Structure 1
């Protein structure tokens, strides 16, 4: 028969067990005790990378050591996958655009090797970037409603450009077609500059672009008809919002979020979110981001999770209705 533990032995075993249970809490209390790696779902440069480096900066201001790790291959899928396989200790985070989070599940012929709604911990919405509806200046319209009427009179005769099949400008274009009833022909390009150049040269009559395209608008090379921002942009106060242009509630544009692996302890999530929110609220950070067309949004984890679910439902409907397929 097995002998019961002596009191001293039991006390030692109990202390050991309690110390093991306390390790995660102690690690959280001392967080961050080593550098935090932010994996970025794009290559260096561009808006997703900008958001990641903004997060790195504001965390460094409050004592974090941060390493930014760009992994843009496979449209960001490999970046997301790397985070889903990481330990949920707060030392590996993800900054991503919408595509590998809420769009690829519906768009790709083979779903990504993760379910973003289950395999990631939402931490904070970071920012939105408005979309600008642009038209070639030779098209004889000055307002969005005039363009809609012009396009309806020429079904299938006008092209619209995007930065590639399945990305946000493409999906926004398809949503625009569904909402207005116009028949535009989608022409994908390999980059935003190429898609913008197509509108400038007349290869495409129309397209949706990010706010950095406003430089071409100010130079008279394109005409800006409306912006998806909630209010007029400070660097283009003469460009109406979609609501003002006659498409109330029309939403589009890119958005960016901060995530960790699934099963991160809530106190740890709340700490990171609070540190990021505090940094994004600094006047100098807001001013700098606004100049680049970013609307900073430091949401709660719950708000980001709800936004993810809403975006999955919204864009999957567009993808299904437009019969968009990635080869």
Structure 2
């Protein structure tokens, strides 16, 4: 089942999507449905399918849900190989990458819908896309969980959606030199959509190792730039959820990104493999389209962002410990 959050006639609604369009689910939100658990959500969706549908081209799709938190992992080895070279951070994958999944928290207030315009961040000259899939925590009973095993974590999967982790590579590179971040290099925009597809719909794609073998593609201005399989992740989503919950908890509605796929999942990887001038950075007017098998397509146009004055540098600081 595919759930959506959308605007129609000026009103924000939750709905379930069919071939006819989107059927309203009045009095609730997609986050409410996630917290209620899969059986309750699917029952509500089936009931809504009996009602009228609004054609998808008559609505504006918002992010499928208002995520309370968004974690983004880096689970594709091939992506890491290219990016570390492209950003001047060394060569090859550091041994620590293989020891455990790594993630950062990104900005839940900067989520964009499947067809929204996306602005270049202030001060950015090297704007980039990142093709990913995100899992949404919720599962059978919509419950929260702490220190989950991977087996238990599977019961906490509600569904999946396409994720574009927009990245200001020049800002990110400076931040990473401080051994902290990313921060402003990553928090200006994250696209989620077009829908939240429930976990049961993707089970036919699960391979013998427990990975989802979904085709992933990204194009810029109609030209294919990258293509990979989601099953090339280093860890399945259940292990990412389990790791995120170690010594703490994950809650229904939390979004966990897979990290960028390999084989051209972002420009930075291609810059690392082919050279920094091999492909231009994203510019206003560029259209980035991502399609993931079983999940759908998101298509965003890059637009000019707000212009702000340069950030002030830190003041020189003496090391005296007495008042002058």
- Pair in the same fold by TM > 0.5: no
TM-score (norm 1): 0.26
Greater helix fraction, Structure 1 or Structure 2: 1
TM-score (norm 2): 0.26
Greater strand fraction, Structure 1 or Structure 2: 2
Larger radius of gyration: 1
